[in-house]
Structure 1
């Protein structure tokens, strides 16, 4: 099973521009995903779908996704607005007022979580959401399960984008997912960078953004002393591919940019490919 992921689209950052930079970047990613072989089984869009919570941006997002030949499953980020989102995507499931739902993906299942607290940049996960998650996890204790959400529950080293490990919502989520050996991983967005870590005994894969990326600056930051450091950079739009091979979840990161090709599978490369494949068990 092949699951594509895009995140932090921020459509509508430049709302009055019909040739908006972020829309071009989104279209670039979708075009590359449509050309993949094999084509992904589904696409996850993990929050900050739009930038200002406005209806027109969600309408244009729906238009952008309309060309996808695979289902698109979305979750809420801190720039999203639930009611406005649901006015344009009324078929997305809701639980107790939150955009939380299960996706039956054949060999695995996905639990999509809502970590939005409107007006707050960081994540949130209240008792109502936790009760829903615990109930879903209790229903199938052996089936491989992937957690999907916007905010990563980990420190990433970029201080102005960090999540503190002792935040109440992190502790609540940790308690829900503790001792769940069937949870194969968590995929997130929010940080605008490709990052991989371990948390609660399973891997956390943070997807880079289709919008501009966050600069890699690991030095402490003093909010009272602007030091001119890089914060946002116009690196190419990016996405993730999560491959479930029946045993492990393998994550690849890619940019939707032109690549300079140095070798192709032709007669010159054929002996190498044959020798590599011949080393493997039949």
Structure 2
């Protein structure tokens, strides 16, 4: 199976930095790049921060752009999203619809089981996994302990070294999350967003990774005394997760027009 991951789309209608960031054209360029891939991915996973303000108008702008994908896609919310509005606009995505306040699901129709875990806190930037969500995760993993599984979540379950982003990270439930996944050797990867950069970290028996943003990136700053957070326009990107003989192999791909390819 081949999975493409995109993240942190931040589609917006007006507001701070909207003219500078140009999120919609960047996303459209990403989708064109994905549609050109050969072999084509089986699935695209979008790991949160679909919009900037969680407004219905932003989701209505986002939906037709995403629907230009020639590939099935699944969504999870990020801290900039409104779960209720996401469900309303993407009403045709059955896996999003449940009476729970959290957008969580397990999809068993692919060679890899897809488990979506909601880390968002209403009106807050940091993430959390409360007892209810952790219980759901424990029950869901126990249902298929031998099936190769990918877990999707917006906030990564590890510190990154970018101080000001770590202060807005998964602040509650991170250790309990690691305890829950500890017995499972079938979790191929934990795919996250939020950091707008590619990062990798071992978490329990598996690897958690973050994906670059499609519109802008968080500036790399590992200064423990940093006082301000910045973004920049390093090349936007996506990731391809290929299921090989030893498990998932991840490729970071920059979006843009580059010279080549040239034969060796």
Is the 2:151–2:189 Cα contact (8 Å) retained in structure 1? Answer: yes
Spell out the pairing of 1:214-229 with structure 2 (5 A cutoff).
Answer: 214-223=218-227
Which residue number corresponds to residue 60 of structure 2?
59
Using the size of structure 1 for normalisation, the TM-score is 0.86
Which residue number corresponds to residue 251 of structure 1?
250
Which residue number corresponds to residue 171 of structure 1?
175
Q: Superposition RMSD on alpha carbons, in Å?
A: 2.3
Which residue number corresponds to residue 39 of structure 1?
40
Instruction: Work out the CA distance in 2 between the residues paired with 1:35 and 1:114.
Output: 31
Change (3 A) 1:44 1:93: same
1:85 aligns with 2:86: yes
Output one character per residue of 1:111-140: Cα deviation in whole Å (capped at 9) or x when no partner.
Answer: 011111012211111111112111111111
The Cα of 1:105 is off from its aligned counterpart by 4.4
Instruction: Work out the CA distance in 1 between the residues paired with 2:55 and 2:168.
Output: 30
Change (3 A) 1:165 1:71: closer
Structure 1 residue runs of 5 or longer lacking an equivalent are 270-282
The Cα of 1:251 is off from its aligned counterpart by 0.6
Which residue number corresponds to residue 262 of structure 2?
263
The Cα of 1:14 is off from its aligned counterpart by 3.4
Which residue number corresponds to residue 2 of structure 2?
2
Change (3 A) 1:195 1:13: farther
Which residue number corresponds to residue 138 of structure 1?
142
Which residue number corresponds to residue 104 of structure 1?
108
Change (3 A) 1:203 1:163: farther
3-state SS in 1 of match to 2:100: coil
The Cα of 1:107 is off from its aligned counterpart by 2.0
Which residue number corresponds to residue 276 of structure 1?
none
Structure 2 residue runs of 5 or longer lacking an equivalent are none
Change (3 A) 1:262 1:241: closer
Instruction: Work out the CA distance in 2 between the residues paired with 1:164 and 1:18.
Output: 25
Change (3 A) 1:148 1:95: farther
Alignment counterpart, residue 128 of structure 1, candidates 120, 125, 132? 132
The Cα of 1:221 is off from its aligned counterpart by 2.9
Matched pairs, number: 260
